[in-house]
Chain A
């Protein structure tokens, strides 16, 4: 089953396009003698199977329209930063780019989820040279960009492991410990951020 239809083949290319744009943003920052924007960058196209599962879960019909416009995370890019401030630097820069429009944002960094999850989520719409679902030439594609610090990223990996392992013993207790760990990591992130500011206080 090909849920993305004829557009499936463009998704990896749109992903590459956006990742290159973010790499360029970083290079521009470094040329301006600013600190680098992020530590690393990864991207993925959601597999057909996961997208089918998601559409079914949301009660959407299984076609390219659902998977590309109603679901906006067929393409996902994660920007992993060194410091909390860098997350907001990237967000602000993304909002100024002419190749994309931020259409939705959720700040789980300053408003963490109940379980302790912290990240900044953006949905951007990107104008491309590829055919798109509502335009035969310059199609628009949605990309979900997730920004987080290294600490938030490690935490999310651990939480992910717990979530997808179904026979965890003491799940509730481990959930509590994970939350406590999230608070401690947030504490370290804030501390590093503060030390960085103190170092640069007199710049």
Chain B
């Protein structure tokens, strides 16, 4: 799992990184809300952990901004014991869960472990973006027409919708789409990106995948493409 950690207390951040690394998670640390929003909009994460009280922008503000951008990544808030009500835990602004400080590392790691299992088996049945609908259960893409997708195309498009508008690098896309050790490289990814492009075109979707061979790739509404 790839985790975005926003925690301004350097010492706590270091401990959390070490603990999560020891479980094989990749952790990208930032130290304020503003950087958290920036990172979240640029890269794919499986999970985000935000402290509430942070300089420049609070964790709550950061969650609001991230949700407003359409990002549906699971977010856990770290809140002080005294702040436990929905307004301050962040649940109101779009966070999915919270852990009260002081917390035991064991508890947090157990939570991450259960999330990891959930992520592996769980995808939304139906996802929408712009004028397209992806029906995960049936591996079908719909817009003005419909067309079938392969298992890999479905995973890839699912991921791109969940991370729409972000520039996604090849490595992240490959890691999240194919099992490890399958030896999938840029060339294979390029073919699948090409399949998806043609399929989007064939259902007359007003949504495009931008990017050259080698990536990064970016799913955008056509109406937004001209402005970028």
Contact = CB atoms under 8 A, between A and B. Distances in A.
A191 B191 CA distance: 9
A194 B198 contact: yes
Contact of A190 (B144, B191, B199): B199
Given A110-B204, A111-B204, A190 B145 contact: no
Interface in A15-48: none
A198 B197 CA distance: 13
A187 B147 CA distance: 6
A186 interface: yes
Interface string A100-139: 0000000000111000000000000000000000000000
Contacts of A159: none
Nearest to A188: B148
Nearest to A190: B198
Contacts, number: 42
Contacts of B201: 110
A190 B199 CA distance: 7
Interface string B168-186: 0000000000000000000
A168 interface: no
B21 interface: no
Given A111-B144, A190-B198, A190-B199, 7 more contacts: A110-B202, A183-B148, A186-B148, A187-B147, A191-B195, A193-B198, A198-B191
Nearest to B200: A190
B194 interface: yes
A112 B148 CA distance: 14
In the complex, the 5 A-B pairs of residues with the closest C-beta atoms, listed nearest first? A187-B148, A184-B148, A183-B148, A190-B198, A194-B194
A191 B193 CA distance: 11
A186 B202 contact: yes
Nearest to B213: A201
Interface residues of B, number: 18
User: Interface residues of A: mostly helix, strand, loop or mixed?
Assistant: helix
Interface residues of A, number: 16
A195 B150 CA distance: 15
B202 A194 contact: no
Interface in A162-192: 180, 183-184, 186-187, 190-191
Contacts of A112: 145
B147 A111 contact: no
B145 A110 contact: yes
Contact of B149 (A111, A187, A197): A187
Contacts of A191: 195, 198
Interface in B125-163: 140, 144-150
Interface centre among A111, A187, A195 (most CB of B within 10 A): A187
A194 B201 CA distance: 12
Contact of A183 (B140, B195, B204): B140
Contact of A198 (B148, B194, B202, B204): B194
